Amino acid sequence: MEEKEIVCVSCPMGCRMTVQAKEGDIISITGNDCPKGIEYAKEEFTNPLRILPTTVRVIGGELPLVSVKTEKAIPKGLLLKAMAEIAEIEVKAPIKIGQVIKDDLIGTGVSLVATRNIKRANSNLLSYKVLK
Amino acid sequence: MKLEYDLVIIGGGPAGLAAALEAEKNGVENILLLERDKYLGGILFQCIHNGFGLQYFKEDLTGPEYADRFITQINNHKIDIKTETMVVKITPNKQIIALNRNDGLLCIKARAIVLAMGCRERTREAIAIAGSRPAGIFTAGTAQRYINIEGYMPGREVVILGSGDIGMIMARRMTLEGARVKAVLEIMPFSTGLTRNKVQCLDDFDIPLRFNHTITRIEGEKRVEKVTIAQVDKNLQVIPGTEEEISCDTILLSVGLIPENELTKEVGIKLDPITGGPIVNENRETEIEGIFACGNVLQVYDLADYVSEEGEIVGKVAKEYLMGKRRYRSQSVKIIPGENIGYVVPQHIDFLVPDRKKIKLFMRVKKPEERVRINLIDDKGKVLSSYKKGIVTPGEMESVYLPEVLLKDRLKSLTVSVGKEDKEQR
């Protein structure tokens, strides 16, 4: 039997719940104050997912980085692996908000999309150079 | 160049953007929005994390996406915008002195002004930590700008002081970018940020959050080398003998935000000592008629969504003010913070509005309490209205709606108090 403590984030109460499971199947959830807790605990226990917001290097842009996010939440355990893949990406300005920066991030089937616009740098003087 | 406007808004962050759009929607015609930065959007572009818009748009957006919704709208409206323009002074008769590179010195006449200057971070100086003065000490927001906008990594081994939201968000951000966050220290016995952030930013990455702890000393020649931390007692005094050393090259400070009210003070508007923002009525109007305030300049919010909501309040009432269509109550109702309430905004209620149903009161409690009621009590001690709350904590702003019908003509004051649930059951 395994046991895991989960803090609910559905509301400010922050109920401390205990999930008991046998071979991955949930037997009991205790400590929740409302039904929302059960739902949250189930998801958090079986398959915790997170949206990953980060940045990607820009070439020839008015700024050196563009903010991005995974279009959908990805498994929590894959966050650092996803960051390693994202670190290799460079994208050319101009960039439009919502633009797909990378398809199928680390085989999750989830795209990485830009969360802001980046214009082209209007002169070489002002453009940022990426130092390698 | 036009130098006379019906409404001038100072600050192009979430508060100013919402105020400008809502004023225009309500028929204000001559609007000028002044922003000191190169772009509109304020701090939102460096807040690349999600969690914005859950209340306002019922969608989970990142900071830049949230900003884009407003900026796209404002570009489609007839609102004059001046960026890279710094306001240096406002006068009681509503003249605005501002500077920029193209126009030089500007003197703009306004019929109404909205203060939407936001807030800034408390620094090391504000909390007085002993020790040397090496490089590697940043406010959390500065580190956020370096990493998310400029593309610089502030350090590799990090200790964060303060469990405010920006501190916790930066703990995650630095971890994802390859730094090691050794500890987040919180002087209080509870987190001052949102539960969501504690779980998703600290617990997810096994970053320890140590309550009742603070930094007592910073050491380092050129760069930070180590910090001494210690436990504090109930009175926040260091307990001798509890000191430990942590080696690190970077310290992030997330020790609170201060509303940026230099302009407000200079024009002679009184500030609330607790919020650090101007004292306002339900229209968010300061003691000078026609000068309004909204967003973090008024009180430091947890969520940008509430800032936008307050910007909208101001946008709407600015029109009423400009039309001269307002009726004062025979007596202003003073809102008094009672038991376990740190402050309430607005601080007083001045107007008679025939079709108004309710007024939203924002507040912060002083200490966490569970299973309580927030009670609205009249000047005779009678509980007029009571709201059940599972938990209240200083980290999460509370709000209750005051029904208009309770605002009797001769009411002088209204006390907002936290009471135990059982005692107040009616």
CA distance, residue B248 to nearest chain A CA (Å): 22
My answer on whether A27 and A77 are in the same domain is no
B318 pLDDT higher than 90: yes
CB atoms B65 and A11 under 8 Å: no
Same CATH topology for B123-255 and B328-426: the answer is: no
Give me the pLDDT at residue A1, please: 84
The pTM score is 0.91
Judged on CB neighbours under 10 Å (0-12, 13-18, 19+), B41 is buried
Residue B195 confidence (pLDDT): 82
Domain that residue A12 falls in: 2-46
Mean pLDDT, chain B, integer: 94
Same domain, A110 and A73: yes
Tell me the pLDDT tens digit for each residue of B350-394: 999 988 999 999 999 999 998 899 999 999 999 999 999 888 988
Q: Indicate the pLDDT class of residue A123, thresholds 50, 70 and 90.
A: low
Higher confidence at residue A132 or residue B98?
Answer: B98
Same-domain check for residues A16 and A41: yes
Task: Choose the closest CB to A67 out of B62, B176, B393.
Answer: B62
Q: Are A63 and A109 in the same domain?
A: yes
- The answer, for B151 touching chain A at a CB cutoff of 8 Å, is yes
Determine the distance in angstroms separating the CA of B345 from the nearest CA of chain A, rounded to an integer: 21
**Does the pLDDT of residue A129 top 60, yes or no?**
no
More confident of the two residues B391 and B269: B269
A51 lies within 8 A of chain B by CB = yes
Question: Does residue A126 carry a pLDDT above 80?
Answer: no
Q: Establish if A126 belongs to a structural domain.
A: no
Residue with the bigger pLDDT between B233 and A129: it is: B233
Cβ distance of B150 and A115 shorter than 8 Å:
no
Q: What is the mean pLDDT of residues A6-21?
A: 84
B243 touches chain A (CB under 8 A): no
Longest dimension (CA), chain B: 66
CA distance A21 to B211: 31
Point out the residue among A12, A33, A116 whose CB comes nearest to the CB of B393. Answer: A12
Token pair, residue B232, equals 């504090």
Mutate to test the interface with A, among B65, B83, B191, B396 (most CBs of A within 10 A): B65
Angle between the B63-75 and B14-25 helix axes, to the nearest 10 degrees?
A: 30
Q: CATH number for B328-426: choose from 2.60.120, 3.90.870, 3.40.50, 2.60.40.
A: 2.60.40
Q: Give the span between the Cα atoms of B361 and B404, in whole angstroms.
A: 12
Residues present in chain A in total = 132
Is A22 within a domain? yes
pLDDT at A94: 96
Query: What percent of chain B lies above the pLDDT cut of 70?
Result: 98
In a domain, residue A103? The reply is yes
Amino acid at B309: E
The 8-class DSSP code of residue A63 comes to S
∠B101-B103-B108 over CA atoms, to 5°? Answer: 125
Q: Which of helix, strand or coil describes residue A29?
A: strand
Indicate the SS3 state at residue A87: helix
* Residue of B64, B196, B203 lying closest to A67 (CB–CB): B64
Between CA B408 and CA B64 the distance in angstroms is: 44
Task: For B277-292, write each residue's pLDDT tens digit.
Answer: 999 999 999 999 999 9
Asked if omega into B240 is within 30° of 0 (cis), the reply is no
B176 close contact with A: CB closer than 8 A = yes
Fold of B123-255: FAD/NAD(P)-binding domain (3.50.50)
Return the CATH fold of B1-120+257-325.
FAD/NAD(P)-binding domain (3.50.50)
Region B168-186: what's the mean pLDDT? 97
Q: A11 to chain B nearest CA, in Å?
A: 8
Does a structural domain hold residue A119? Answer: no
Same domain (yes/no): A107, A74:
yes
Residue B82 predicted with pLDDT over 60: yes
**Smallest Cα distance from B173 to chain A, Å:** 8
Question: Is residue B199 within 8 angstroms of chain A, CB to CB?
Answer: yes
The string of pLDDT tens digits covering residues B83-139 is 999 999 999 999 999 999 999 999 999 999 999 999 999 987 666 787 888 999 999
Is B48's Cβ below 8 Å from some Cβ in A?
yes
Number of H helices, E strands in chain A: 2, 10
Sequence ranges of the domains in chain B: 1-120+257-325, 123-255, 328-426
Q: Would you call A65 and B60 a contact, using CB atoms and an 8 Å cutoff?
A: no
Q: Do B64 and A116 touch (CB under 8 A)?
A: yes
Q: How far is B410 from chain A (nearest CA, A)?
A: 37
> Quick check: is A32 in a domain?
yes
Instruction: For tokens 């200790």, name the residue.
Output: B159
In a domain, A122, yes or no: no
Q: Are A69 and B151 an interchain contact pair (Cβ–Cβ within 8 Å)?
A: no
What total number of domains does chain A contain?
2
User: Does the residue A75 lie in any domain?
Assistant: yes
Does any domain span residue A132? no
* Nearest of B81, B56, B79, B82 to residue B69 by alpha carbon: B56
Are B176 and A80 within 8 A, CB to CB?
Answer: yes
Chain A, chain B: beta-carbon pairs less than 8 Å apart = 74
